[in-house]
Chains A and B, each alone.
Chain A
Amino acid sequence: MRDAYLFRNPRVVDPASGRSDFADVLVAGGRVVEVGKGLEAGGARELDCSGLVLCPGLVDLHTHVREPGREDEETVETASAAGAIGGFTALCPMPNTEPPADSRAVVEMVWKRGREVGLVDLFPAGAVTRGREGRVLAPMGEMAASAAAVDFFTDDGSCVADAGVMRKALEYARGFGAVVGDHPQDPALAGSGQVNEGVVSTLLGLEPWPAEAEEVVVARDIALASLTGGRLHLQHLSTARSVELVAEAKARGLWVTAEVTPHHLCLTEEACLTLDPVYKVNPPLRGPEDVAALRRALASGTVDAIATDHAPHSREEKEVPFAEAPFGVAGLETALAALLTYLVEPGEVSLERVVEALTAGPARVRRLPGHGGPIAPGAPANLCLFDPSEIWVPEERHLASRSRNNPFLGRRLRGKVVHTLLRGRFTLRDGRLVG
């Protein structure tokens, strides 16, 4: 059998089916054929996967691919390769490109580039408003009806600051069954804030970016979701009160989902005291109480997805004084390893829950076909296999991203992706990119 593989004896962690035990997985013709103990290889090539975890290919709801417009920082090709190295089989490019993804032409272009590269599936997000300017609705229907079949809109990078516009967006998107995402940041309250308001802003004399600048928009958006019956997704939440508000909204039965990033789960504002611009990110890294609350919200299921907010920046732009550097960290290649190291190893969040928030959780938010599991006969073989005990220190040579602003470089991490398969074809094999 060509392209038939038997993954022998990994621990299969498949949150969509609730499975977490040792089993064999047989893949052929791009699909899962069988999952069970003691499977016959038949003509399939057998791979000894003892000690590995096999899970659905990871799904990133929040990737800055930078194409079109900033190909010096990242391209569809390099982001796809970074994704494959990190165990991802699906990425959702954000619309803050140049020009912005506020039209059929741009979302189709990004989607087609993804198909040509073929290392991950791309599900581009469209802009909510024209030019991401927050005033006039973008042609959501055109983008939904395009080849990219966009069903998720956000002005990410900017908040939809005008409550009236956000209300209309949530209402209008209902017409296409689409989700509206928001980057919650009250522009007046966050001002030119650079770091979390508190100890770090006090010590560094940098403009403070208070937690409340996020929380007032989270509260507003939830009120608007209630008013409109629209589907709301809150992006990169960073504070304790934000996730509390999401829990309340979910308890009320509203269609509200939320994501957090690996860096907000793993790092605290204290990192900013080094004044290394690699830690400058929007929203800013928060205090230990906020990080602990995000971890609890992840464990409890209040947070639906872990999304990387992979935001590559060129060396020239990041190697400047902290106050001058752009916001953003890159991290597709290291996301899983960082989460395993900072959350799973100390026992704060279970392996199953972290895997769920990287697979079934995000796939549910965007209803992505064929991604996030379940790993069941007939399903596309989008898979990630990782060694949960391998210890490594990420260096620049491990990255495929064009940019180097990854805060986990040089840190000892435990857990490394070994194989990634997109529809039964290896995109990463034994830790090396394929194709």
Chain B
Amino acid sequence: MIKHLLSASQLSKEDIMAVLDTARALASLTRVGVRKLPTLRGKTLALLFYEPSTRTRFSFELAAKRLSADVVSFQASGSSVAKGESLKDTARTIQAMGVDAIVLRHPSVGAPWLLASCVEASVINAGDGTHEHPTQALLDLYTMRERFGRLEGLEVAIVGDVLRSRVARSLALALKTVGANPTFVGPPTLLPARPEALGAGVSFSLDEVLPRADVVYLLRIQRERMGGAYLPGELEYSRFWGLGPEHLEMMRPEAVVMHPGPMNRGVEISWEVAESPRSLVEAEVAAGVAVRMALLYLMLGGEALHR
């Protein structure tokens, strides 16, 4: 297994399958009541979060604790960062205390790369600005595989502000690696210049893509994007690229809806869709713990567990 997980592009198909298989084995242990494993006893994980986060932070913390690792946690506000300490100095301070892995969430693209260049611990990118969020991609792949029993050949429409979505970038890269087919959908102003570099196709029309999609993956629309030169407004976005109840009829019978959260109900997703049986939003959250357990287990020295 790789030492650092910075980008989804680092993961081979075998790496991804090892994580998903291990996650499945760990999830089944949890289901039969094994809440805590001794596997990472004596290992220490540091969570460095320079941005607010609920689900990513909690699921890393839970994952580490269920494997018996010690977790130290750090919030940018109220720490040495608030006093102007640089990321590099903070990293070295944490390194000096002897941690085995650092999970970093940071608003600036490239922050995990800087960290990896100056510490000996493993670095896991838990989201760097508008760039990547590889563990989100892994948990989404896990969720899709549990539902469909396969990943190869799945048609995945990734809808919304792809240009600035770290989730979309990592997800498209990982989907391509496992042989699925991502398509970016959204207004042209919110799509990247060269989608093929991420292995994705492109469509400006949700209606056109819906009938063939196995997964409709909705991205969170940032309200601050509205009303500027990117988009005329929420109403127009919602009309052309939001997923409403009328769309559920156009989808294939087995097709599902996913969203990395937090959702803007009424903008990219309607209330009816969010609550419909097609929605896998809660399954994604649940998968987050198992997948992050698997990743920590594999990166910090375990062997792949198979089904």
Contacts and interface: CB of A to CB of B under 8 A. Distances in A.
Answer yes or no: are A and B bound together in one complex: yes
B193 A202 contact: yes
Kindly name the residue among A205, A208, A324 whose own CB sees the greatest number of chain B CB atoms within 10 A.
A205
B194 A199 contact: yes
B110 A202 contact: no
Kindly name the residue among A198, A202, A274, A319 whose own CB sees the greatest number of chain B CB atoms within 10 A.
A202
Nearest to B129: A323
B61 interface: no
B302 to A, nearest CB: 29
A194 B164 CA distance: 14
B140 interface: no
B114 A321 contact: yes
Contact of A320 (B87, B130, B166, B195): B87
A200 to B, nearest CB: 8
A322 B193 contact: no
A430 to B, nearest CB: 36
B24 interface: no
Contacts of B164: 205
Nearest to B114: A321
Contacts of A319: 86, 88, 114
Interface residues of A, number: 22
A316 B106 CA distance: 18
Contacts of B194: 198-199, 201-202
B193 A275 contact: no
A73 interface: no
B169 A321 contact: no
Interface string A308-323: 0000000010011111
A236 to B, nearest CB: 22
A208 B192 CA distance: 9
Interface string A184-202: 0000000000100111011
A251 interface: no
A204 interface: yes
B53 interface: no
Nearest to A319: B88
Interface of B: 9, 86-88, 106, 108-111, 113-114, 117, 128-132, 163-166, 169, 192-195, 197-198
18 contacts: A194-B109, A199-B193, A201-B192, A202-B193, A203-B9, A203-B197, A205-B130, A205-B131, A205-B166, A205-B169, A206-B131, A208-B193, A274-B113, A320-B108, A320-B114, A321-B106, A323-B109, A323-B129
